[in-house]
C-alpha cells in the first residue's frame, strides 16, 4: 500500500511542481492583499464563521464562478470537484453521492443541507437530488465538510456534510434568463428575478423546467430512465431595523421519472410522478459584540406515486411502491463571544418525520421524533493556536441517546501555513426502513416479501483521526490543502444473504487527499487527488470505493469576451456493495470542454452563449451498473441578464 501511495504522490507532486514552475508563473504576480481577499471563509464546519485554516475539518468550497466554468448541469456532478467524492448514477434520474463510504443506491451517510435545511429524506434515507426544489443558477456556493461532522449536524453526517448556500434575496435587481439544448433529450429553460419592494423588503424568485432522456438503451437497458422537472422558488428577506432579519423561503418541484426494466416481472417500465415542496422561516437577531441569536423552522414534503402492472409470468396485477413523507424541524442557535480569545455557539433542535408507505412497512404509518443539543467552543490558546471542541447529544427516536464529540487543534506555523490535528466520533442512526422495514407486495393470491428488519439495530459508528495542512503562497496565487485520515467504522447496516437488515460490516479506511488551487494572469487551475484503502471483515467491501481518483478544472481568463475551460475526471476500479460482479466499474476517464462568448447588446443587456461537450475516453464508461453507459454528451446554453 505504501509503495502505491507514495508512487502516486510522487506523480502528483511532479505535476504540481511543473505547473507551478511553468504554466502559471504569472508575469505580473497578484498582490498578497488581493489574494487573501479570496481565501474561503466558511460557516458550515463548526457553525462559526471561520477561515478554512481554522476550521476543525478539511473543507472544500465551490463558488459560483467554478460552477459556471465546469459546465455541469446538476449539483451531484459539481461534487466531482471535491477530492475523495464518488459521484455516479443508479439510473438516468437518480444520482449517488458518497464520500469515503459505502456506495449503494441511497448513499445514506452524507448530510445534505440547503440554506441550513436538511434534505436527507425518510423512510429509506438518502437524497433524491433531482427532486430538490433548487436550480443551479440560484446557487451562491457549496461548502463541503470532508469527514465526520456529527458534532455539528448529528446522525447521517458520518461521511461529511454538503452545505448548499443559495443567492441572497438582496441580490442586485435584475432579470436573468437561461436556456439549454443538447443531445439525448437534454433541455432547460428558466427565469430568475430579484428586486426590492422597499428599503426593508427584498425578494428573489425563479421558475424553470429541465428534462433528459437518460442513458442510451443497450441489451441490459432500463429503457425508461428519463426525467422532466418543473420548479419554482421564492425567497424574501425582511430587515426592519439594523439588528433583525427575517428570511422566508418557499419551493415547489413537480416531475415525471422514468422507471422500470423491460425484463422485470414486477418493476415493468412505467412513469413515477414526484412532487416535493418546502417552506422555511429564519429569524436572526444581532445582540451586539458579535453575538447572535437565530431561530429556524422548516417543513418539507415529498410524494412519490409509483405504480405499475406486473408482467410475465403473472401479468396484469396492479402493484404500488408509493411513498408520502414530510418533516418538521425547529432549531435555535446562540452565538456569543465570551472573551477576546473565545467564541461559543450552542443550540438545540426538535424534528418530527412522518412517512406513509404501505409497501415498505407492516404498519404503513411511521413516525420518528428526534431531538438534539449541541455546543462548540473555539478557543485561541495562544497567538498561533486554535482549539476547536464540540459535541452533539442526540436522541435517535428509538429510545437511545448518543454523544458525538470532536476535538481539533490548528497550529499556524506562520500567517500562511497551518497544521491541523483532529479526532471525532460520529454515529449514524438507522433509517425508518432499516429499523422497521417490511418490503412486500400482494400479487393476486401471493404475498411477495423482500427486504425486512427485526428492529433493535445499533447505530453505525465512526472513529476518525486526521492530520491536515492548509497553506498559501500569495506570490504564486497558490492554495494547497492536504488531508491524511484513518477511520474505524463499526456496525455498518446492510442486508444479509437472507434479505434481513442487520449490523453486518466493520471496516478501516485510510488514505491521503490533496487539493491545489492556482490563480494567475493565465487563468485558474484546480487539481484534486485522492488515494484510499479499505480493509473489512466482509468480502468485497474493500472494493466499494475507488482506490485512486483525480479531478481537475482549468479556466482561461476572459479574452475579448471569449472564455475557455477544460475539466478532467478519473476514477479507479470499484464495485458498489449492492451490485453483482458483472457491474464492476473499470477505470474511467472523462474530459469536459466548455467554450463561451459573452457580450453586451446595444441596450446594455449582458448575454452569453456557451458550448459544452463531455468526452469519455474510449467512447464510454460504466456508471454504477452495466445498464448505464455514459457516452459523449454535448449541449449549448444561452444566458441573458437585464
Residue-wise pLDDT tens digits, 62-90: 999 999 999 999 999 999 999 999 999 98
Report the distance separating Cα 303 and Cα 273, nearest Å.
8
How does DSSP classify residue 622? E
- Burial of 399 by CB count in 10 Å (0-12 exposed, 13-18 middle, 19+ buried)? exposed
Reply yes or no on whether the pLDDT at 4 is more than 80. no
DSSP reduced 3-state for 501: strand
Among positive and negative, which fits the CA dihedral 394, 396, 399, 405? negative
The residues, any chain, with a CB within 8 Å of residue 546's CB and separated by 6 or more, are: 86, 571, 572, 573, 574
Predicted pLDDT of residue 14: 41
Find out whether 341 and 43 touch, Cβ atoms under 8 Å: no
Question: Is the dihedral angle over the CA atoms 615, 618, 620, 623 positive or is it negative?
Answer: negative
Separation between Cα atoms, residue 121 and residue 144, nearest integer Å? 19
The three three-digit cell numbers of residue 86, written as one number: 464518488
Place of cell 418533516: 327
Q: What is the rounded average pLDDT for all residues in the chain?
A: 89
Instruction: Give CA–CA dist 480/529, Å, rounded.
Output: 12
219: pLDDT confidence band, cut at 50, 70 and 90?
low
Count of all residues that appear for the chain in the document: 642
Facing residues of 354 across strands?
A: 326, 367
Task: Please tell me the distance from the alpha carbon of residue 444 to that of residue 572, in angstroms, as a whole number.
Answer: 46
Which range scores top for mean pLDDT: 31-40, 212-221, 291-300, 531-540?
291-300
- What DSSP element (H or E) covers 412? strand 401-414
pTM of this structure: 0.92
Residue with cell 404509518: 365
Question: What is the per-residue pLDDT across 458-500, written as a single tens digit (0 to 9) for each?
Answer: 999 999 999 999 999 988 889 999 999 999 999 999 888 778 9
| Closest CA relative to residue 353, chosen from 330, 369, 376, 339 | 369
Tell me: pLDDT of 578 over 90: no
The rounded distance, in Å, linking the Cα atoms of 47 and 44 is: 5
Residue 530, pLDDT > 70, answer yes
Task: Return d(Cα 300, Cα 133) in angstroms, integer.
Answer: 10
List, edge to edge, every strand of the sheet that includes 110-114. Answer: 58-63, 139-146, 160-166, 110-114, 117-118
Residues 104-161: pLDDT tens digits? Answer: 777 788 899 999 999 988 788 888 999 999 999 999 999 999 999 999 998 788 889 9
Asked if residues 559 and 581 have their Cβ atoms less than 8 Å apart, the reply is no
Residues sharing a CB contact under 8 Å with residue 38, sequence separation 6 or more, in sequence order? 519
Spatial distance between the Cα atoms of 45 and 58, rounded to a whole number of angstroms = 9
Say what percent of the chain tops pLDDT 90. Answer: 71
pLDDT over 50 at 221, yes or no: yes
Element (H, E) at 534: strand 523-536
d(CA 76, CA 89): 9
Lowest-confidence range among 26-30, 56-60, 245-249?
Answer: 26-30
Question: Which residues touch 409 (CB under 8 Å, ≥6 apart)?
Answer: 385, 386, 387, 388, 420, 421, 422
C-alpha span between 113 and 416 (Å, rounded)? 30
CB 339: neighbour CB atoms within 10 A? 9
Q: How far apart are CA 314 and CA 512, in angstroms?
A: 52
* Of 501, 508, 358, 350, residue with least CA distance to 431: 501
Looking up residue 153, the CATH number of its domain turns out to be 2.40.170.20
Going by C-alpha positions, the residue among 214, 315, 206 that lies closest to residue 256 is 214
Q: Give CA–CA dist 184/208, Å, rounded.
A: 19
Cell 413537480 belongs to residue: 254
How far apart CA 442 and CA 449 sit, in angstroms, is 9
Residue 22 — very low, low, confident or very high, per pLDDT cuts 50/70/90?
very low
Average pLDDT (342-347) is 97
How far apart are the C-alpha atoms of 408 and 423, rounded to whole Å?
6
Distance between CA 349 and CA 371 in Å, rounded? 6
- Please state, as a whole number, how many other Cβ atoms lie within 10 Å of the Cβ of residue 426: 31
Burial (CB count <10 Å: 0-12, 13-18, 19+), residue 612: buried
**Count of structural domains within the chain:** 1
* Gap between the Cα atoms of 156 and 426, Å rounded: 9
Terminal-to-terminal C-alpha distance of the chain: 56
- Asked if residues 224 and 258 have their Cβ atoms less than 8 Å apart, the reply is yes
Q: 111 has which bridge partners? A: 161
Instruction: Dump the DSSP string for 53-90.
Output: GG-SSEEEEEEHHHHHHHT-SSHHHHGGGSTTEEEEEE
Does residue 378 register a pLDDT over 80? Answer: yes
Instruction: Establish how many alpha carbons lie within 13 A of residue 227's alpha carbon, considering only the half-sphere containing its beta carbon.
Output: 23
Contact 533, 511 (CB under 8 A): yes
C-alpha cell, 78: 459539481
Distance of CA 587 to the CA centre of its chain: 23
Residue 332 lies in domain: 2-641
Q: What is the pLDDT of residue 218?
A: 67
The residue that leads in pLDDT, 264 or 15, is 264
Inter-residue contact 459 to 428 (CB < 8 Å): yes
Of 10-19, 378-387, 516-525, give the lowest mean pLDDT range: 10-19
Pair 189, 203: CB distance under 8 Å: no
pLDDT at residue 320 is higher than 50: yes
Amino acid at each position: 500500500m505504501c509503495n502505491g501511495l507514495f508512487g502516486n504522490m510522487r506523480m502528483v507532486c511532479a505535476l504540481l511542481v511543473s505547473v507551478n514552475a511553468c504554466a502559471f508563473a504569472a508575469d505580473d504576480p497578484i498582490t498578497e492583499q488581493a489574494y487573501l481577499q479570496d481565501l474561503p471563509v466558511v460557516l458550515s464546519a463548526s457553525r462559526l464563521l471561520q477561515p478554512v485554516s481554522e476550521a476543525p475539518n478539511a473543507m472544500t468550497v465551490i463558488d459560483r464562478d467554478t460552477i459556471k466554468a465546469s459546465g455541469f448541469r446538476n449539483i451531484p456532478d459539481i461534487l466531482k470537484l471535491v477530492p475523495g467524492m464518488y459521484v455516479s448514477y443508479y439510473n438516468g434520474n437518480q444520482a449517488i453521492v458518497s464520500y469515503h463510504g459505502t456506495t449503494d443506491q441511497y448513499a445514506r451517510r452524507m448530510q445534505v443541507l440547503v440554506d441550513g435545511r436538511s434534505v436527507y429524506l425518510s423512510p429509506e434515507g438518502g437524497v433524491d437530488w433531482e427532486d430538490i426544489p433548487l436550480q443551479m443558477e440560484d446557487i451562491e456556493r457549496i461548502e463541503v465538510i470532508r469527514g465526520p461532522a456529527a458534532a455539528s449536524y448529528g446522525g447521517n453526517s458520518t461521511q461529511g456534510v454538503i452545505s448548499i448556500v443559495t443567492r441572497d434575496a438582496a441580490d442586485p435587481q435584475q432579470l436573468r434568463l437561461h436556456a439549454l439544448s443538447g443531445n439525448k433529450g437534454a433541455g432547460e429553460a428558466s427565469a430568475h428575478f430579484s428586486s426590492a419592494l422597499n428599503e426593508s423588503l427584498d425578494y428573489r424568485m425563479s421558475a424553470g423546467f429541465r428534462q433528459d432522456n437518460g442513458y442510451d438503451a443497450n441489451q441490459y437497458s432500463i429503457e425508461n430512465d428519463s426525467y422532466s422537472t418543473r420548479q419554482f422558488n421564492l425567497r424574501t428577506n425582511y430587515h426592519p431595523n439594523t439588528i433583525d432579519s427575517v428570511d422566508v423561503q418557499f419551493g415547489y418541484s413537480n416531475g415525471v421519472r422514468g422507471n422500470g426494466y423491460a425484463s422485470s416481472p414486477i418493476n415493468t417500465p412505467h412513469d413515477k410522478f414526484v412532487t416535493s415542496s418546502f417552506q422555511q422561516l429564519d429569524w436572526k437577531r444581532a445582540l451586539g459584540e458579535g453575538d447572535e441569536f437565530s431561530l429556524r423552522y422548516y417543513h418539507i414534503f415529498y410524494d412519490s406515486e409509483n405504480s405499475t402492472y406486473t408482467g410475465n409470468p403473472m401479468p396484469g396485477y396492479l402493484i404500488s411502491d408509493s411513498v408520502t413523507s414530510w418533516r418538521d424541524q425547529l432549531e435555535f442557535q446562540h452565538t456569543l463571544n465570551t472573551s477576546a480569545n473565545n467564541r461559543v455557539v450552542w443550540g438545540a433542535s426538535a424534528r418530527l418525520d412522518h412517512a406513509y408507505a404501505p409497501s415498505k412497512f407492516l404498519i404503513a404509518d411511521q413516525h420518528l421524533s428526534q431531538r438534539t443539543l449541541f455546543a462548540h467552543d473555539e478557543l485561541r490558546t495562544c497567538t498561533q493556536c486554535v482549539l476547536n471542541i464540540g459535541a452533539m447529544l442526540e436522541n435517535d427516536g428509538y429510545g437511545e441517546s448518543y454523544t458525538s464529540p470532536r476535538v481539533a487543534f490548528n497550529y499556524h506555523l506562520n500567517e500562511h501555513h497551518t497544521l491541523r490535528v483532529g479526532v471525532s466520533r460520529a454515529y449514524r442512526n438507522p433509517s425508518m426502513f432499516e429499523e422497521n422495514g417490511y418490503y412486500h407486495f400482494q400479487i393476486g393470491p401471493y404475498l411477495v416479501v423482500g427486504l425486512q428488519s427485526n428492529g433493535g439495530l445499533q447505530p453505525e459508528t465512526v472513529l476518525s483521526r486526521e492530520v491536515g495542512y492548509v497553506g498559501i503562497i500569495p506570490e504564486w496565487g497558490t492554495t494547497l490543502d492536504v488531508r491524511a485520515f484513518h477511520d474505524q467504522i463499526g456496525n455498518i447496516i446492510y442486508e444479509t444473504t437472507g434479505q434481513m437488515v442487520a449490523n453486518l460490516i466493520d471496516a478501516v479506511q485510510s488514505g491521503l487527499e490533496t487539493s491545489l488551487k492556482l490563480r494567475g494572469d493565465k487563468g485558474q487551475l484546480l487539481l484534486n487527488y485522492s488515494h484510499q484503502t479499505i480493509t473489512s471483515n466482509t468480502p468485497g467491501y474493500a472494493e466499494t470505493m475507488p482506490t485512486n481518483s483525480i479531478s481537475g478544472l482549468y479556466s482561461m481568463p476572459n479574452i475579448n469576451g471569449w472564455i475557455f475551460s477544460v475539466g478532467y475526471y478519473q476514477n479507479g476500479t470499484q464495485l458498489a456493495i449492492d451490485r453483482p460482479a458483472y457491474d464492476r466499474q473499470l477505470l474511467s476517464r472523462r474530459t469536459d470542454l466548455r467554450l463561451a462568448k459573452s457580450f453586451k447588446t446595444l441596450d446594455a443587456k449582458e448575454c452569453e452563449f456557451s458550448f459544452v461537450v463531455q468526452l469519455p475516453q474510449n467512447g464510454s464508461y460504466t456508471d454504477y451498473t452495466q445498464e448505464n453507459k455514459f457516452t459523449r454528451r454535448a449541449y449549448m446554453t444561452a444566458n441573458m441578464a437585464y
